[in-house]
Amino acid sequence: MSCDKEQELILNCRGNLENLLRRRFFVIPSFEIYGGVAGLFDYGPPGCALKAEIEGLWRKHFILHEDMLEISATCLTPYSALKASGHVDRFTDFMITDTKTNDYYRADKVLEEYAANRLSKNSNNPPKSEAERSELELIIIQAGSYNSDEIRRCLDKYSILSPSGAEWSNPCPFNLMFKTKIGPKQSEDDGKCNTGFLRPETAQGIFVNFRRLLDYNGKKLPFAAAQIGLGFRNEIAPRNGLLRVREFQMAEIEHFVHPERKNHPKFFIVENLCLPLYPRSSQLNNTNVIKNMTLKEAVHGPNKVIDNETLAYFLARSHLFFKSIGINIGGLRFRQHLETEMAHYASDCWDAEILTSYGWIECAGHADRSCYDLIQHSKSAKVDLLASERYDEPQIRPFVKLLLNRPLIGKTFKQEAPKVIEVLQDIANKCDMSVEEALKREGSYNLNYKYCSDHTKYKWEITREMVNFELTSKRVTEEHFIPAVIEPSFGIGRIIYCVLEHSFRIRDDESLNQVNGEKINVNKDIQTSIGEMQRCYLSIPPIIAPIKCSILPISSNIIFNDIINIIRDECIGMGISCKLDTSSASIGRRYARTDEIGIPFGITVDFQTIKDNTVTLRERDTMKQVRLHSSEVVKIISELSYQKLIWSDVLKMYPLFTQQDE
Amino acid sequence: MSCDKEQELILNCRGNLENLLRRRFFVIPSFEIYGGVAGLFDYGPPGCALKAEIEGLWRKHFILHEDMLEISATCLTPYSALKASGHVDRFTDFMITDTKTNDYYRADKVLEEYAANRLSKNSNNPPKSEAERSELELIIIQAGSYNSDEIRRCLDKYSILSPSGAEWSNPCPFNLMFKTKIGPKQSEDDGKCNTGFLRPETAQGIFVNFRRLLDYNGKKLPFAAAQIGLGFRNEIAPRNGLLRVREFQMAEIEHFVHPERKNHPKFFIVENLCLPLYPRSSQLNNTNVIKNMTLKEAVHGPNKVIDNETLAYFLARSHLFFKSIGINIGGLRFRQHLETEMAHYASDCWDAEILTSYGWIECAGHADRSCYDLIQHSKSAKVDLLASERYDEPQIRPFVKLLLNRPLIGKTFKQEAPKVIEVLQDIANKCDMSVEEALKREGSYNLNYKYCSDHTKYKWEITREMVNFELTSKRVTEEHFIPAVIEPSFGIGRIIYCVLEHSFRIRDDESLNQVNGEKINVNKDIQTSIGEMQRCYLSIPPIIAPIKCSILPISSNIIFNDIINIIRDECIGMGISCKLDTSSASIGRRYARTDEIGIPFGITVDFQTIKDNTVTLRERDTMKQVRLHSSEVVKIISELSYQKLIWSDVLKMYPLFTQQDE
């Protein structure tokens, strides 16, 4: 098949899926009757149930299985916390404006789209040289981390125009946080007083509670805290349906660990698991090669690519999670962030990306955030966010004593003196003797910004008379430290969309004319009418299916009511969600409707049931049916739903049902 | 006991509870390290789990049991939807300012507090007459519905001063919605363009999706939709901890029903249930009498107080829900709204109120909102939000045909003509012939505002020449109508607080010295140290307990590790949340810690376990223990947790364990 044909087929499938999702009220644009709001979506009954099932499984797979501490913090966040975390200053995208229409665009997306168009097979302006091709390929990878100048240069170099054919404005940063006022106070300075934001991630709610969490955990490290909740980003121009939205459910884990001991006690369990890794080197060489490596190789081998065991352990857990919710493993890769993509404090970062009709989509990040967040909050809030570890035996450690001439420092630096002393103390705390050596050698030393953790630019001349660093040692029984954080972070909405795309199926015409694999004659009219309904279905794994079973009487005859109610009550009692369809539509049409919303099992009550209390149980993907006693059926469905039984077992346990009941 | 003593005891209990909730990280002020933000709270691990359990039970009790359609809509809401719902104009509280300190206060709360202080037993300014006493009592009931003038008058009449002794400013309405901008557009008119709010209730997300929901339900009425999610209210001056917060989890149901047929098919199941009702009449007569009435009496009896069966059915379901989560039924009442409290469109409204140390607290509302919301959205969005019902047989209905002289109306009313025609059509639609009769009689008629559904004030003179209303009849096979809505709405955070207060217990000293009811000798020192820890506990019902069981080895000896891991894995497999405590604290101290966070069952592994694989199972409230085989214990806990077994059954099944292991 040619690439174009394939592309057309993919887009056709997407169209069918998106139509299904709207029609069956999985997901629809919010405030649809008011024309909708870009980037906002509501989940209808099946979508809402699917979301609950995926969140529930996530909670079980991560929080329960790993003994994490789950918390629930607020969305409303005061200025102070997000100033400290860096979001007030740096949580921005570059925005450019079409100077004719005044419409807003995200600069990086405009550049990426331009490059992708030129590189596409049927571009009318293909790259003029191999060098230009490489340049364009680099734009796609790097545009997201360009600064204002780089964007401008790129727009100019390729003379990129807006959709209306006009010039682009200069890029300006747009903060992606939704801003509001908490409380009635109308302050004059817009900056701080009672300004609040909607949280852009749930992580900060965990960091600010670090002390409480550490106490709750009996002051022991490592431990992980987790949170499932909403995040908000005021996207400049949201597109791509569910993949770029302004309000979204997240599930985040913050694993706190000693910054120098990031090994993981359970790493041995996953070390032989082979993961599809897409490391930095493959991306920059543009080899596009995904390396299948065991985690042992990836962390401890000569071609080490993953920074540490804990990060690798979480990649493994994520891989298993995605597999369990029906992600086609051939369409999953772990892509390492480029140096230019990572925050300056991060030491390694891997995105779980899933292949969809929109290309590879980031669905989970796994970042080693180092100690950055706790340091920032500790400084801003002026509280200790330290953990401690007792040594088995006391240890002797180097210690630098700081001897200060405070009057001289005060006289020299005036109001800056406390800052100078703080920086000198920092140097001493790090047992760094280089300043002392310089002072010995030269008598004076220019303290420059590299010593200053908050990146203030200053330059102070320190003299021998002001300070002495004295290297000594001390006996320590415990160590105090700011823990490092490893953060697996999942976007639930994106995962839901990927599950839906990966489970979307179109039955071939053959299978429609078969019952249990036996070809049968179907009246042409029925074939067409049922066929069109039956074409699409969702092969969602039973464990996360929004509704586990349907209950369908063969006709709307009231003699079926009693048995239906008994089965339904049993479902509710066992916590098996079910959907009763007593409408007068044909049984085939009703099966098709349940297939469309991904109900994996169907119980059909027919006239035989009245005689001997047996019912049929139908499985969605194979469309095969077995006949069994009604008192057993709900238990069997429960076992099928929670992976204690698979369908092929059931086929062996009970007789196949082959009668066509339409 | 004197009232003062009792009050002191209550406040003392509250102090102990709130201390426990902070200390054990159930709930703490958000952004505590930054000094907190009034009205924002975070749930730590046990609080978060308790919230999840209560929400899960609510979902089962209401959504699954009643086959409701659950949806999940966004918090961000555009201006248009909340303008239509009336929130932009009317979702306000009156605010008054201390003219000296410029602090903000809620006017109604200031008045209520003033009246309550004067009425309190040890007031230094008691009411001077019976008349004044009645006035003050009425203020407490009605201040919430006072308008600006009434508030001013009340402040002046009693010369109420601010806490700083200054005059109060004039009251002004403060809109309680958090406002933000959706998207980067910086519009000039602050009013509409891309202004958004955080939803003040989840209900509107259901109303705007009414058409989709009706379709999903096969176009059949009645049906209910439900939503569990966040609501936001920018309270002027939040106080009372968890009871008045700015961000809160809600669980709301919108039951859509024919406006004239609000009977409920399952009413017969609950009609003999006796509920503690506090109707309007008791409140206004200030009799304070709660009437225990069966729902049959309350809806269909001669002293009818509840408007309809559906509303009563939901009161019953709420009552059962509150009972199942451990609310002391003696501290629960259903209070009917006064006419002055209700929105103008509501036809009846009952709050479920729970008695706490803060007094009676509204935890759920049950409002008959009539057709108001759907009418408003239908008009604003210009879409039909109609349901229809087919008659069994076609019916003959009166029908008024409207004959218009459009040129004359156009010439007379110019640009107002379409509005005039709309009003005339409305009159015809209602089969209202009074205008026709007036025109016949007088030749002209003044159309006034009573005909105008949007309350515009106008006056148009209509003449005979302009219009004829012709009464005729038509054959109808189905009826189209805008459904009425009955809304049970629950505040999850308040319910959590009430559950905690109602389950808070202090063990008397006696019980501390007893094991299984047998008095034993305890060393005085141990008694004190354990005693203080053990004093408080939470008797949370197992079905919603945040953690179902603890696993405690009698000592930290590693020989227990295997059996502990087996039991823990079995818990995870069966979905039973458990907490392992292998710390070196004494077993008594560890029991006390688990009691404090409301863990109902404790498995203790001891040296006997190593010999014969038996463990002890301890119940929190009785502190009794039985001994049973370790392979049975998790199943027993699961049955105890999901109400298939009660503790007294277990006491009969297994031998009591009476050895003191400390």
Q: Is the pLDDT of residue B220 over 70?
A: yes
The mean pLDDT value for B403-432 works out to 89
Distance from CA of A139 to the nearest CA of B (A): 25
Residue pLDDT, tens place only, A297-345: 999 999 999 999 999 999 999 999 999 999 999 999 999 998 888 877 7
Most confident of A465-469, B138-142, B321-325, B534-538: B321-325
Query: Is B660 part of a structural domain of the chain?
Result: no
Whether residue A661 is contained in a domain is answered as no
Q: What is the per-residue pLDDT across A231-242, written as a single tens digit (0 to 9) for each?
A: 999 999 898 788
Of the candidates A327, A366, A349, A360, the one whose C-alpha atom is nearest the C-alpha of residue A54 is: A327
* Contact map slice: A 77-136 vs B, CB within 8 A: 77-78, 80-81, 95, 104
Distance (Å, whole) CA A608 – CA B65: 29
Q: Check whether residue B327 and residue B410 sit in a common domain.
A: no
Tell me, what CATH number does A223's domain have? 3.30.930.10
Residues in A touching B63 (Cβ below 8 Å): none
The pLDDT of residue B534 is 45
Q: Give the mean pLDDT of chain B.
A: 89
Is A474 found in the same domain as A402? yes
Instruction: Give the pLDDT of residue A575.
Output: 86
Judge if B56 and B156 occupy the same domain: no
User: Mean pLDDT throughout B208-221?
Assistant: 95
Average of per-residue pLDDT values in chain A: 89
Per the domain annotation, does B512 fall within a domain?
Answer: no
Identify whether residues A215 and A137 lie together within a single domain.
Answer: no
One domain for residues B278 and B362: yes
Tell me the angle at which helices A107-119 and A130-142 cross, rounded to the nearest 10 degrees: 150
Pick from B70, B218, B381: CB nearest A33: B381
CATH classification of the domain holding B127: 3.30.40.230
A584 near B CB under 8 A = no
Query: Under 8 Å CB-to-CB from A577, ≥6 apart: which residues?
Result: A49, A546, A547, A548, A549, A571, B64
Give the pLDDT mean for B465-481.
91
Query: Where is B313: in which H helix or E strand?
Result: helix B309-324
CB-CB under 8 Å, A184 with B75: no
Q: Give residues 356 to 415 of B whose Cβ lies within 8 Å of A.
A: 377, 380-381, 383
Task: Look at B239 and B187; give whichever has higher pLDDT.
Answer: B239
Q: Considering only the beta carbons, identify the residue of B31, B51, B178 that sits closest to A72.
A: B51
User: Residue B447: pLDDT band by 50, 70, 90 thresholds?
Assistant: confident
Identify the residue with better confidence: A528 or A464. Answer: A464
The beta-carbon neighbor of A45 closest among B38, B71, B234 is B71
Query: Is the distance from CB of B249 to CB of B496 less than 8 angstroms?
Result: no
Per-residue confidence at A520, pLDDT binned at 50, 70, 90? very low
Does residue A524 fall inside a structural domain? no
Name the minimum distance, in Å, from the CA of B228 to any CA of chain A.
10
Residue B66 lies in a domain: yes
Q: What is the per-residue pLDDT for B189?
A: 52
What pLDDT score does A660 carry?
Answer: 52
pLDDT at B525 over 80: no
Question: Are B70 and B158 contained in the same domain?
Answer: no
- Give the distance between the most distant pair of CA atoms in chain B: 105
Q: Is A1 on the interface with B (CB under 8 A)?
A: no
| Interatomic CA distance for residues A251 and A123, integer angstroms | 40
User: What's the whole-model pTM score?
Assistant: 0.88
A246:B76 CB<8 A: yes
Q: Please check the confidence at residue B511 and state whether its pLDDT lies above 90.
A: no
Spatial contact of A585 and A552, defined as CB atoms under 8 Å apart:
no
Within-domain flag for B17:
no
**Better pLDDT: A174 or A11:** A174
B432 in the same domain as B469: yes
What tens digit of pLDDT does each residue of B486-499 get?
999 999 999 999 99
Domain end point (choices B425, B446, B481): B481
**pLDDT computed for residue A286 by the predictor:** 67
d(CA B495, CA B503) in angstroms, rounded, equals 12
Q: Which of residues 16-35 of B touch A (CB under 8 A)?
A: 24-25, 28, 30-34
User: Distance (Å, rounded) from C-alpha B337 to C-alpha B307?
Assistant: 12
DSSP A590-639: HHHHHHHTT--EEEEE-HHHHHH-EEEEEETTT--EEEEEHHHHHHHHHH
Closest CB to B246: pick one of A48, A182, A377.
Answer: A182
Given CA atoms A144, A150, A151, A157 in this order, what sign does their dihedral have?
negative
Contacts of A182 in chain B (CB under 8 A): 37, 178, 234, 246
Question: Given pLDDT bands bounded at 50, 70 and 90, which one contains residue B546?
Answer: very high
Looking at the fold, whether B469 and B490 belong to one and the same domain comes out as: no
pLDDT tens-place string over residues B268-291: 999 999 999 999 988 877 667 889
* Residue B573 in contact with partner chain A when CB distance is under 8 A: no
- From chain B residues 498-557, the ones with a CB under 8 A of any chain A CB are none
| Average pLDDT over every residue of B83-102 | 93
Yes or no, beta carbons of B42 and A211 under 8 Å apart: no
pLDDT band at residue A456 under the 50/70/90 scheme: low
| CA–CA gap between residue B559 and residue B569 (Å, rounded) | 17
CA A455 to chain centre: 31
Reduced DSSP (H G I as helix, E B as strand, rest coil) percent helix, strand, coil of chain B, to 5: 40, 25, 35
Full DSSP string of A518-539: EE----HHHHHHHHHHHSEEE-
Domain harbouring B416, CATH code: 3.30.720
Contacts of A5 (CB under 8 A, 6+ apart): none
The verdict on a CB contact (< 8 Å) between A104 and B377 is no
Q: In this structure, is residue B21 part of a structural domain? A: no
Chain B residue closest to A593 (CA)? B216
Q: What is the token pair recorded at A570?
A: 């049993």
CB of A213 within 8 Å of any CB in chain B? yes
Among B494, B517, B532, identify where a domain stops: B494
Residue A189: what pLDDT?
A: 52
Q: Please tell me if residue A186 touches chain B, with a CB cutoff of 8 Å.
A: no
Specify whether A354 is located in the same domain as A205: yes
* CATH code at position A590: 3.40.50.800
- Angstroms from A496 CA to nearest CA on chain B: 14
What integer pLDDT is reported at residue B2 of this predicted model?
52
Q: So what's the pLDDT on residue B662?
A: 40
Tell me the average pLDDT across A375-381: 95
Q: Is residue B646 very low, low, confident or very high in pLDDT (cuts 50, 70, 90)? A: very high
Single out the residue of A547, A551, A651 nearest to residue A600, CA to CA. A547
Q: Which residue has the higher pLDDT, A193 or A187?
A: A193
The three-state secondary structure class of A469 is strand
Domain limits for position B622: 547-653
Give the percent of chain B with pLDDT over 90. Answer: 69
CA distance B576 to chain A (A): 10
Residue B340: its pLDDT value, please? Answer: 81
Q: State the pLDDT at residue A458.
A: 67
- pLDDT band of residue A659 (cuts 50, 70, 90) is low
The reply to whether A639 touches chain B by the CB within 8 Å rule is no
Is B236's Cβ below 8 Å from some Cβ in A? yes
Are residues B436 and B339 part of one domain?
no
In this predicted structure, the answer to whether residue B661 has a pLDDT above a threshold of 60 is no
Last residue of a domain, one of B461, B494, B527: B494
pLDDT of residue B530 exceeding 50, the answer is no
In a domain, residue B320? The reply is yes
DSSP code, position B546: S
A341 and A355 inside one domain = yes
Tell if the CB–CB gap between A180 and B178 is shorter than 8 Å.
yes
Half-sphere exposure of B426 (CA within 13 A, CB side): 13
* Number of domains, chain B: 4
A367 shares its domain with A275: yes
Number of inter-chain CB pairs under 8 A, A vs B: 197
Report the complex ipTM. 0.87
Across the range A131-138, mean pLDDT stands at 89
A189-219: pLDDT as tens digits:
554 678 999 999 999 999 999 999 999 999 9
Task: Show the 3-state SS of B400-413.
Answer: EEEEECHHHHHHHH
pLDDT at A530: 43
Tell me the C-alpha distance between A522 and B148, whole Å.
74
Per-residue pLDDT tens for B315-327?
A: 999 999 999 999 9
Which pLDDT band holds residue A12 (cuts at 50, 70, 90)?
confident
Q: Which pLDDT value is given to residue A534?
A: 45
Angle, alpha carbons A30-A32-A34 (nearest 5°): 110
* 3-state helix, strand and coil shares in percent for chain A, rounded to the nearest 5: 40, 25, 35
Residue B34's nearest CA partner among A385, A511, A217, A386 is: A385
Contacts of B335 by beta carbon, 8 Å cutoff, 6+ apart: B278, B283, B350, B351, B353, B360, B362
